[in-house]
Amino acid sequence: MQKPVRVITVEREFGSHGGEFAHDLAHRLGWRLLDSELVAGAARKAGVDPKAAARFDERLDPWYYRYGKFLWHDPLYAPTPSGGTEQIFDSERMLSLIRDEILAAAQAGNCVIVGRGAACALVGQPACFHVFVYATMKAKREWYMKTFPEQAGHADAHLAAFDKKRAAMIKKFYLQDWCARGLYHMLLNSCIGREAMIEAVEGATGLRTQVGQSAAR
């Protein structure tokens, strides 16, 4: 028998309202929401300021930094046998620490995890259900222009660039395509509305019955 779903991951396109959907879903289920909390947890483990850690969230280090770091680890160039980089806080270490946070959260269960490669970190794990939220370009453009009116003329370029950064991070760290359909159990167009999205996930996971029983008590 398939194990009951205890973890839901929500990957999302920029401007698709996937984060808001995840928040509402967690509230409906009475589960923990792990979004910015993942960044805070990684910062705490690394002993760095959460605001500083947030600069590394869902992005790769610049190519020239990664190239330099590669040379540090090369025995021919490294100043010490280990390169002395173990405690450097960068995007790679951030992702590693966040993955630890994701795995620990999944072990505890009853949580909704937003982005940060959670679907990749938990691929093949039982009791996990992976969702990808997208939206039409028109809907994302309207959201962007309303949220960032001073940059409205660059909406399409900025929307594409943000998702490109997320995809590059997933490709580099997990060797997976960020929007590959095979990673997810459900793809949701946020244009159907948040309530319909929540009902779709509850129905697909069998959690609707559990929520109803809890409410009845």
CATH homologous superfamily of 7-216 equals P-loop containing nucleotide triphosphate hydrolases (3.40.50.300)
The residue that leads in pLDDT, 25 or 96, is: 25
Look up the pTM and report it: 0.81
DSSP three-state, residue 102: helix
- Six token digits for residue 174: 């997990």
**What is the four-CA torsion angle of 148, 151, 157, 160, rounded to 10 degrees?**
-10
Tell me which H or E stretch contains 114. Answer: strand 111-114
Q: Mean per-residue pLDDT for 102-121?
A: 95
Contact call for residues 105 and 32 (beta carbons, < 8 A): yes
The residue that leads in pLDDT, 153 or 61, is: 153
Q: CA 49, 14, 116, 130 torsion: positive or negative?
A: positive
Contacts of 13 (CB under 8 A, 6+ apart): 133, 134, 135, 140, 163
Q: How confident is residue 198, by pLDDT bands cut at 50, 70 and 90? A: very high
Return mean pLDDT, the chain: 83
